Amino acid sequence: MDDSLRAGVAIYNAGAYRAAHGAWETKWLSLERGGDDERFLHGLIQFTAAVHHARDGNESGAVGLARSAQEYLDGLADDYRGVDIAEVRAFLARLEDDPAVANDPLALRLDERVVTYDDLDFDAVVVAAETLAEELDGYDESVVADAVGYAREEVADGAQTQFTAMVFDFVRNEAQRGLVFQRLSEHVSRRRRREDDVSDLFE
């Protein structure tokens, strides 16, 4: 869960409140209902949704989500899996009373740090890249998936070069993410063509 957890926290802290749930959802759905980890992720997902809805003007939806998120997180340790759950619960209580507090949203802390994209290692960056491609508009998930595959090959070979650097840049360079994705698409297309050319030789 660590890579997914860190990626989702970083995505949330970057202001992509709706997208953050994507990093946690697959793991959450695989967990036994009612277990501590399931309640933890369910609560975080509803927390991020509450912030998103409050900032989007859906106050009634935000209030309901804030209330249910508190119920899921109730009883968990204040530092469950390194997340400052006590701080999250306190913020949710304030949001339930006044959705306007979401205009200055809580920064999520993991292991007492506000985690950003710069704090993610390769495996967590992969989760973040795939989540952002899926949840944000304008990106082709298959391009990012192939780029991640090529980056994994580089890492396995001990040569973190072209695709590895671009996957990191896609996540970290928010201001120019569209331009980074365009470059990434071009490199993926060229790599796909080379692979197709080699495959054709054996048909």
Q: Is 80 exceeded by the pLDDT of residue 79?
A: yes
Count of structural domains, the chain? 2
* pLDDT for position 161: 83
Q: Is 50 exceeded by the pLDDT of residue 172?
A: yes
Containing structural domain, residue 110: 2-118
Whether 62 is in a domain gets the answer yes
11 and 109 in a single domain? The answer is yes
CATH number at residue 37: 1.10.3450.10
81 and 157 in a single domain? The answer is no
84 and 143 in a single domain? The answer is no
8 and 64 in a single domain? The answer is yes
Q: What is the dihedral sign for C-alpha 77, 74, 40, 96? A: negative
36 and 86 in a single domain? The answer is yes
Q: Is 60 exceeded by the pLDDT of residue 115?
A: yes
Q: Averaged over 152-175, what is the pLDDT?
A: 90
Whether 124 is in a domain gets the answer no
Q: Which amino acid is at 173?
A: N
Q: Averaged over 41-64, what is the pLDDT?
A: 96
Whether 11 is in a domain gets the answer yes
Whether 130 is in a domain gets the answer no
17 and 91 in a single domain? The answer is yes
* pLDDT for position 194: 82
- If you write DSSP's letter for every residue of 28-66 in order, what string do you get? HHHSPTTSHHHHHHHHHHHHHHHHHHHHTT-HHHHHHHH
Whether 63 is in a domain gets the answer yes
* pLDDT for position 129: 98
Whether 147 is in a domain gets the answer yes
